[in-house]
Structure 1
Amino acid sequence: MFLSGLLASLVGVSGVVALNTGVAKLPVLGYNTWNAFRCDINESLILETGELMVKHGLLAAGYNYLNLDDCYSEKNRSKSGDIVASAAKFPSGMKNLTNKIHKLGFKTGIYSDSGWFTCGGYPGSFSNELRDLKTFKDWGFDYLKYDNCAIPYDSITRQGIVGRYQPMADAVAKVAAETKTEPIVLSLCEWGWSQVWQWGKRFGQSWRTTGDIEPHWLSLASIINFNSFLTTSTDFYGRNDLDMLQLGNGNLTDDEAKSHFTAWALMKSPLFIGTDLRNVTKETLEILTNREILAINQDPVYGESISPFRWGVNPDWTSDPINPANYWSGQSENGTVFMMLNTRDEATKMSFNLTESPWIRAGRKYSVRDLWAHTNNGTAIRNFTATVPPHGVVALLLKDAGDEPNGIFPECSVWWQCTDRNGTRVGG
């Protein structure tokens, strides 16, 4: 099935200017409570998680946000109309909690919803956007995940989805101006039903593009497939959010976990850990703290996602939630990034011509850095080949190493339409 309708709808996406509020130029790295704990959260658990992030080197690796998700409040607002933190879960109060989180070295985030209620049934922010944003700011939060459940009737809002998100974006700007402080980072959780990648940059620093992630390979493959058609909407200050990292939460193999982390990081998604750090494995921590992969996610020179240059299993531009694009590349400050993703159920020999990537120069050789083995693997000339494990990944950084040797035949790496000065076709 070809995505002609989707592709048509994406015309002009890259022309939308990202919202530069001075915060979140790069993808946010951190922890979110939802995947591991759902509604079973409290202040001692949050602080313990922060301490474990420090202990396990996650803060040092760049995961500097510690965020609460849903279910932190009482079921009803106060008599004056304010959201009230749960007295049972947060007896010391939110301001005390955020002070302690900040002292650990983190920024911190909270959650709300554009509807009557949050997805968990707690008070949403509809018609209370400015009131709630002031509350979150007074509590000391730096980040807001803004969801899309319990939407009021059309006869009440008289707005589409863009209009329903506008009041909270306005509140963020107004509170920042009034307090003369950095604006709260606004992350839209809209699930992509209204093609949020086309308009999300007007309001937030990231926007969810799909439904919730699940802890198995088919969910990961489906999310990668969908987002393979949206890569041009990611750049500095605005990016597709592929949802939270599911490492350690399901039945992923080590190779699948590496593929998950690699795709999310190189597509410049925000990276929020959703693992119970009280039971985290050494293998999961090694994946999460791969500094060579994280450095590309946090590249200060190139903010764009990697993109497919060949689909592999399927013809190019095919949408297949089981077999997304296999061959990807993009720019980084230190060279050209490649990702080979094996969507098959068995180990597969995969190869590509270097100049299939638009960021590679013909007639040059390239040094090869394996970003998972952390090894320098010699020099590639024209082609690269590797055997990739089932549902596994190879991530590479290629750097220009000078002219390729003389006398290589054919004279062009892509021989069709390669022509001698006298008009003779070469290599065909």
Structure 2
Amino acid sequence: MLADKLWIATACAIFYASSLTGVHALNNGVARLPVLGYNTWNAYQCNIDEDLMLTTAKLMKSLGLQDVGYNYVNIDDCYAEKNRSMSGDIIEDKVRFKSGMKKLNEQIHALGFKTGIYSDSGWFTCAGYPGSFQNELRDAKTFQDWGFDYLKYDNCAIPYDSIIRQGIVGKYQRMADAIAQLAAMTKKPPMIFSLCEWGWSQVWLWGATLGQSWRTTGDIAPKWDSLAAIINFNSFITQATDFYGRNDLDMLQLGNGGLTYEEAKSHFTAWALMKSPLLIGTNLSAITPDILGILKNKEILAINQDDVIGKSISPFRWGINPDWTSNSTHPAQFWSGPSKFGTVFMLLNTLDEPATMSFNLTESPWIRAGRQYSVRDLWTHTDNGTAIRNFTAHDVPPHGVVAPLLKDAGGEPDGLFPACSVWWQCTDKNGTRVGG
């Protein structure tokens, strides 16, 4: 009985907290759906130049990544000279980007891609290059003149309180206003604005009013503990994600070592079904066929890019403890959400050993009682019969994932006993409790 009360209290607290995040997103005509593409930082950090960017774009095309929707090629930190020009403008590195950003963008755009750039809301970027504080409109115009479509905006080198006289929202509002002002001046679409604030100031509550995505945690690392902590944290704020604005779980760390194949599948599944932007951070010249196959899973990508329903999947059962409370090493294992294709589930085995994972279908709020559901496996790409009342996945690998898609297939067969799948809560209209 105590466990039941704890579960109910936890669930109510989670529902209340998540409902607070239902703020209206900034609909300025860009990034209605999550961005798919590439970012340089995880694979290369500061070791970037124009040849690498152009080679990466060509590889995305030849590997078929562009064909399945990855259409952004984004430069992260370290592309600039350490000092601004005499007139105050950011200058691209004269050696590594000797042809100029404008020409590089023209070449990448000619391949059919869009492009992204990086800056910071403080005095300097995290790697010590010029930040955009007090130069927001100037820098936004520079980035637009260079031809960029997307801006990742970081959170290093914060000015003294006596200078900034802003909270964290105001610090990011400055660039949001500059992007909007520039769009009004030039009559061009605004750049996509991606806030890299790390979630320290509950960015999921206010980020949607400024940009199209917002980082909710610190940097990702290519190891299971990092993935588990990010998934756990974001499991409580899924309601912040919808069209035009979404929780950003950080870049995809597939293929950078440290993850097993099953962990890489779980990583990609969680990020995609939670509707995070999907920015590859892998050295594409060394990518393996297995990792490429994960990144090109069209059925998973279709859920991420659903143009009818923009919501993330959410947990319907937390943790592995008897009262379903969670911890950062064992996040929620049972998730579901609506999509235009049907109800999508994610069963995440957070244990270090294989597990059989089973649930009652109506534990998901998106499933109707008294119905049967066809089952599509989004990883094996097979139709796996019909689920009636329950679903079981056997021998899910350690840190592995199962992603079934359930679609209504009509009423369940007559004569099933008991009369309710959740029999211990079921009562006849005359007051008689239905037995199991």
CA distance in structure 2 between the aligned counterparts of 1:420 and 1:12, rounded to whole angstroms: 33
Match of 1:340 in 2: 347
Counterpart residue identity of residue 325, structure 1: A
Counterpart residue identity of residue 139, structure 1: W
CA distance in structure 1 between the aligned counterparts of 2:284 and 2:157, rounded to whole angstroms: 32
Matched, 1:48 2:55: yes
Matched, 1:370 2:370: no
- Of residues 206, 229, 236, the one that matches 2:243 is 236
Q: How far 1:17 sits from its partner (Å)?
A: 0.5
Match of 1:427 in 2: 435
- Of residues 372, 388, 406, the one that matches 2:414 is 406
Q: How far 1:317 sits from its partner (Å)?
A: 6.2
CA distance in structure 2 between the aligned counterparts of 1:11 and 1:215, rounded to whole angstroms: 28
Q: How far 1:14 sits from its partner (Å)?
A: 3.4
Question: 1:87–1:389: structure 2 CA closer, same or farther, 3 Å change rule?
Answer: same
Aligned 8 A contact 1:143 1:185 in 2: yes
Trace 1:61-80 onto structure 2 (pairs within 5 A): 61-80=68-87
Aligned 8 A contact 2:319 2:325 in 1: no
Counterpart residue identity of residue 36, structure 2: L
Superposed CA deviations along residues 292-349 of structure 1, whole A, max 9, x for unmatched, are: 0000000011101000001251256634111000000000001000000000000000
- Of residues 185, 193, 201, the one that matches 2:200 is 193
Q: How many residues align?
A: 428
Trace 1:3-402 onto structure 2 (pairs within 5 A): 10=17, 13-315=20-322, 318-387=325-394, 388-402=396-410
**Structure 1: 4+ residue segments shifted above 4 A:** 1-4, 6-9
CA distance in structure 2 between the aligned counterparts of 1:77 and 1:386, rounded to whole angstroms: 57
Question: 1:328–1:9: structure 2 CA closer, same or farther, 3 Å change rule?
Answer: closer
| Secondary structure of 1:199 counterpart | helix
CA distance in structure 1 between the aligned counterparts of 2:28 and 2:346, rounded to whole angstroms: 31
CA distance in structure 2 between the aligned counterparts of 1:76 and 1:316, rounded to whole angstroms: 56
CA distance in structure 2 between the aligned counterparts of 1:111 and 1:274, rounded to whole angstroms: 15
CA distance in structure 2 between the aligned counterparts of 1:265 and 1:88, rounded to whole angstroms: 37
TM-score (ref. length: structure 2): 0.96
Superposed CA deviations along residues 381-401 of structure 1, whole A, max 9, x for unmatched, are: 000111211000000100000
Question: 1:375–1:8: structure 2 CA closer, same or farther, 3 Å change rule?
Answer: closer
Superposed CA deviations along residues 19-71 of structure 1, whole A, max 9, x for unmatched, are: 00100000000000000000000000000000000000000010000000000
CA distance in structure 1 between the aligned counterparts of 2:10 and 2:141, rounded to whole angstroms: 43
Q: How far 1:367 sits from its partner (Å)?
A: 0.3
CA distance in structure 2 between the aligned counterparts of 1:68 and 1:44, rounded to whole angstroms: 12
CA distance in structure 2 between the aligned counterparts of 1:316 and 1:308, rounded to whole angstroms: 15
Aligned 8 A contact 1:13 1:197 in 2: no
Counterpart residue identity of residue 177, structure 1: A
Counterpart residue identity of residue 192, structure 2: V
Aligned 8 A contact 1:409 1:427 in 2: no
Counterpart residue identity of residue 433, structure 2: R
CA distance in structure 2 between the aligned counterparts of 1:417 and 1:316, rounded to whole angstroms: 18
CA distance in structure 1 between the aligned counterparts of 2:421 and 2:275, rounded to whole angstroms: 30
Q: How far 1:7 sits from its partner (Å)?
A: 5.4
- Of residues 388, 409, 415, the one that matches 2:423 is 415
Question: 1:385–1:12: structure 2 CA closer, same or farther, 3 Å change rule?
Answer: closer
| Secondary structure of 1:272 counterpart | strand
CA distance in structure 2 between the aligned counterparts of 1:258 and 1:8, rounded to whole angstroms: 28
| Secondary structure of 2:285 counterpart | coil
CA distance in structure 1 between the aligned counterparts of 2:110 and 2:347, rounded to whole angstroms: 41
| Secondary structure of 2:159 counterpart | coil
Superposed CA deviations along residues 106-158 of structure 1, whole A, max 9, x for unmatched, are: 00000000000000000000000000000000000000000000000101101
Counterpart residue identity of residue 414, structure 1: V
Counterpart residue identity of residue 260, structure 1: H
Aligned 8 A contact 1:189 1:208 in 2: yes
Q: How far 1:239 sits from its partner (Å)?
A: 0.4
Question: 1:315–1:19: structure 2 CA closer, same or farther, 3 Å change rule?
Answer: farther
CA distance in structure 2 between the aligned counterparts of 1:8 and 1:245, rounded to whole angstroms: 28
CA distance in structure 2 between the aligned counterparts of 1:405 and 1:8, rounded to whole angstroms: 33
Counterpart residue identity of residue 22, structure 1: G
| Secondary structure of 2:290 counterpart | helix
CA distance in structure 2 between the aligned counterparts of 1:77 and 1:220, rounded to whole angstroms: 38
